[in-house]
A and B are shown apart, each in its own frame.
Chain A
Amino acid sequence: MEEIFSALARAMAFGTPILLAALGEVVVERAGVVNLGVEGMMAVGALAAFAAAQTSGNPFLGVVAGVLAGGIAASAHAFVSVNLRANQFVSGLALTMLGLGLSGLLGNKYVGAPLEHPLAETGFTWAAVVLSIVIWLVLYFTRTGLVVRSVGENPAAADALGLEVYLVRYGATIFGGMMAGLAGAFLSLAYRPSWSDGMTSGLGWIAVALTIFVAWESIRAVFGAFFFGLLYHLAFRLQGRLPSEMLLALPYLLVIVVLTLAALRRRQGNAPEGLGLPYERGTR
């Protein structure tokens, strides 16, 4: 019995960063922007959080730093894909590589450094669950949510009514980055708590896939994230019996599994209609 409880607790912990990042991506994609840079933003957030917490000694300052770093990283994607109307997929991939490389480079001196006051995992977990409900409420019951969804579905219609399509997409993208940064902060301040290069280990990609799997619904993301947390935990427990390379490949394997399941359930039909398409006034 105790075994099961501890397994579930570990599954929740594994699922938390996936959930936080996926919630951000749900909002971004609802506004019509695809950001494949989640993994990179998460890494940048993790490093910024750890560096701030370690130097100041205050882990909450670390959380703030992680969130801000994620937001700043995302604004680069927003500029390239919203203003310059570049290909969002390429820009997001570039952001992932940039984030991973940059955090590895700048984080060298923090490798192996101790953190005096790590944070509790459960705080992040509950915050993520509450956020998923709040995001659901905002998306479906408020004007803000209506505007975000409309911009993602049909930016031309929103524009004709005098809404600021670019501003909305910027806001959503930066919010998504902040959530990815928060996920990173969870990893380096609570889950590990330490900094090492590549510590995000593909979790960002699972978050991207999860966004599709849960059909862009924040509350479903809670169940999805913990389901994948459980799978992760089980694989972890089988470590002795499976080759270790298997574990390393697991996130990417999960992405394929997630997308296959999503395709089988025909969930892609729920994608916002304007998803991934840059908006320019006067073109159809």
Chain B
Amino acid sequence: MREPVLKLRGISKRFPGVVANDQVDLDVYPGEVHALLGENGAGKTTLMNILYGFYQPDEGQIELSGRPVRIGSPAEAMRLGIGLVPQHPLLVRRHSVAENLALGLPTGWWRPTKPLGKRLHELKQQYRLDVEAGALVEQLSPGEKQRVEIIRALLRGAKILILDEPTSVLTPQEAGELFKVIQRITQSGGAVLFISHRLDEVLEIANRVTVLRKGKAVGSLTPPTDKATLAEMMVGRQVSFERERGMAKRGAPVLEVQKLSVFSDRGLPALRSVSFNLHQGEVLGVAGVAGNGQSELIQVLAGLRKAVSGSVKLDGRDITGKTPRQLHTLGVAHVPEDRIRMGVVPSMSVAQNLALRNYFRPPFSKGLWLDQQELDQNALRQIRQHEIAAPKPGTEARLLSGGNIQKIILARELAGNLKVILAVHPTYGLDVGASEQVHATLLQKTQEGAAVLLVSEDLDEIISLSDCVGVLYAGELVGPVEATSVTREQIGLWMMRGETAFTTIEA
């Protein structure tokens, strides 16, 4: 048996009130991909931060190639040959790729980017990792940015590469490319620690899996084979992979969007003549790489952004240019993308946050005054009904977890007689249990006759919930088409190339 290149024994890390890592053991062997699987909050990130020198473990020891080490800082981690490819790239947006790479390398003082050309060429030969050195980072796709991070780690001599949720921002095709690169890295002797909560990709890429649950390593499989077992280890109970679609009947169009064009904050066209119909009882999933007009689409439908041209009709009535309050009164609910910034007021109480849509009318308002008692009564009802883990109505919203904040938003937005629900990344950052609940709530609403416009970067979510799927690419909408008529790969192609991919596939 070979020696592990990285060996963790009994690693524990406590934060006030939580044990983030509890006696975790982990072995990473050279030439292998070791997946670290777990839900959000299971302790994956903490363990990664310990390995990369951001945190010091309270207990336990780390051995690198049999030698005990102490990793005091990211710089030290890199000296020891540990490289991290973060989930969200840490690059200087407006600098070139070469400048970003040179920043982390001990090249000379005068023209530090100069020696890079040769080394990039070597990497291209060895791993087929290709990126244009002169390009500005802001012009790169998420996949290319990730490649820059990988190249940087390799240039700095990383023998162990930590990839943190690397596929979360990639299209399926880009993910496939990444997996090939990972294979070439392990073939040449490198070790990869692959952090993920997606079972399918772990099964595809990993030689070993360690599953974390509530801070503990609950087991490992070598090699992993069985999805159901892994899921049960991860969640602690059986999980169904069945499509969650309800029996909702699709009815008449409720929302008719005609040739809608919108500018972004920077004054550039963000939506170009987008048209679609949303029918009663339907879930329309809108996929796309972030920044292709999704935010602007939702904002204009929610009354937060002005349309440049085109119209939006609700039940045949023109609602273009209505205010958010008017729209909500007409039955348009908005579950916003950034739940902390747009969904709640973090410094206000749960009770106040629950009343943000209706505070100005009775029973909450009494003339000029708010009825505090009524606010609290309402909050207590909602807390019970929606199982919000808030100790009391007066608790500040910022003290709650992401899942519970989302419950507050859903309780507030999805109350009453709804026609259209605009839901953006509704399960982003939530654990499996909370995600299931959010999905169930949305599907329940479709059965009551509401239509859902679901914007998400999570393709699995789109595919499992939607009746129809569209893709936003450079402000243009591809589709929508019946969800059953397209494959994941096709959606991925549209995300990367837009309509041109559509026509080539059909032809």
Contacts and interface: CB of A to CB of B under 8 A. Distances in A.
A153 B103 contact: no
Contacts of A154: 90-93
A162 B78 contact: yes
Contacts of A147: 103
Given A146-B102, A150-B92, A150-B95, A161 B107 contact: no
Contacts of A141: 110-111
Contacts of B111: 141-142
Interface string B53-78: 01000000000000000000111001
Interface in A227-284: 273, 282
B90 A143 contact: no
Contact of A153 (B78, B93, B112): B93
Interface residues of B, number: 24
A149 B112 CA distance: 14
B91 A157 contact: yes
B103 A161 contact: yes
B107 A143 contact: yes
A158 B100 CA distance: 9
B333 to A, nearest CB: 29
A157 B90 contact: yes
A282 B103 CA distance: 20
B109 interface: yes
A269 to B, nearest CB: 8
A142 B90 contact: no
B149 to A, nearest CB: 10
A167 to B, nearest CB: 14
A156 interface: yes
Q: How large is the interface on A (under 10, 10 to 19, 20 to 34, 35 or more residues)?
A: 10 to 19
A146 B99 CA distance: 7
Interface string B262-275: 00000000000000
Nearest to B108: A143
A149 B100 CA distance: 11
Contacts of B86: 160
B325 interface: no
Most buried by A among B92, B93, B102, B110: B92
Interface string A101-143: 0000000000000000000000000000000000000000111
Contacts of A144: 109
A143 B112 contact: yes
Contacts of B90: 154, 156-157, 160
A8 interface: no
Contacts of B78: 162
A80 B112 CA distance: 32
B100 to A, nearest CB: 8
A144 B107 CA distance: 12
B107 to A, nearest CB: 7
A149 B95 contact: yes
Interface in B87-145: 90-95, 99-100, 102-104, 107-113
B112 A146 contact: yes
Contacts of B99: 146, 150
Contacts of B109: 142-144
Nearest to B107: A143
Contacts of B102: 143, 146
A150 B103 contact: yes
Nearest to A155: B92
A15 B61 CA distance: 63
A163 B103 contact: yes
A162 B74 contact: yes
A160 B74 CA distance: 6
Contacts of A163: 103
Contact of A162 (B73, B107, B112): B73
A239 to B, nearest CB: 43
B161 to A, nearest CB: 15
B108 A153 contact: no
A186 to B, nearest CB: 31
Contacts of B75: 161-162
Nearest to B91: A157
Contacts of A153: 92-95
Contacts of A157: 90-92, 100, 103
B123 to A, nearest CB: 18
A156 B94 CA distance: 14
Nearest to A152: B92
B223 to A, nearest CB: 33
A54 to B, nearest CB: 40
Interface in A147-188: 147, 149-150, 153-154, 156-158, 160-163
Contacts of A149: 92, 95
A80 B93 CA distance: 28
B429 to A, nearest CB: 14
Given A142-B110, A143-B112, A150-B103, A161 B74 contact: yes
Most buried by B among A141, A143, A149, A163: A143
26 contacts: A141-B111, A142-B110, A142-B112, A143-B107, A143-B108, A143-B109, A143-B110, A146-B102, A146-B112, A149-B92, A150-B95, A150-B99, A153-B92, A153-B93, A154-B90, A158-B92, A160-B74, A160-B86, A161-B74, A161-B75, A162-B73, A162-B74, A162-B104, A163-B103, A273-B93, A282-B54
Interface of B: 54, 73-75, 78, 86, 90-95, 99-100, 102-104, 107-113
For the complex of A and B, 8 pairs with smallest distance between CB atoms: A162-B75, A161-B104, A157-B90, A143-B112, A153-B92, A154-B92, A143-B109, A160-B90
Interface of A: 141-144, 146-147, 149-150, 153-154, 156-158, 160-163, 273, 282
Given A146-B102, A162-B75, 11 more contacts: A142-B110, A143-B107, A146-B99, A147-B103, A153-B93, A154-B92, A157-B90, A158-B103, A160-B90, A161-B75, A273-B93
